Amino acid sequence: MSTAQSLELCFWRKIGRYASRIGRALIQKALWLYYAAQRPQTPIWAKATIYAALGYFVLPLDIIPDLIPGAGYVDDLGLLTGSVVTVAAHINAEVREQASARLADWFGSESE
């Protein structure tokens, strides 16, 4: 299994297991990055930024451990937000729609 496949598997496992605890905003940013990395048009430098951020997100070793209630995902949110800002030009409407569809599957629509 390649490193990218391993990261992808860890990504989906973590989101599936902790989605309700992580929350919609953090999951949304992670999905924007994930789907942007899947686009062939996304340049290698942006993909490297995305994979580094998603790798940090899925790895159990954090600056602030994820198991700390209320604060455990603050570092993840900051890193993912910074990565979204860095690669924002590659997060297009299609990427946002894919993420919104997945979020609706997991959390329901925002209007519910």
- For the CA atoms of 101, 104, 110, 112, the dihedral, rounded to the nearest 10 degrees, stands at 140
* 67 CB-side CA count, 13 A: 3
Residue pLDDT tens, the chain, 112 long: 777 677 777 777 777 666 666 778 888 999 999 999 999 999 999 999 999 999 888 887 766 665 555 566 777 888 899 999 999 999 999 999 999 998 888 777 765 4
Distances (CA, A) of 39 to 35, 62, 89: 7, 28, 12
Amino acid, res. 111? S
Can you give the pLDDT at residue 71? 61
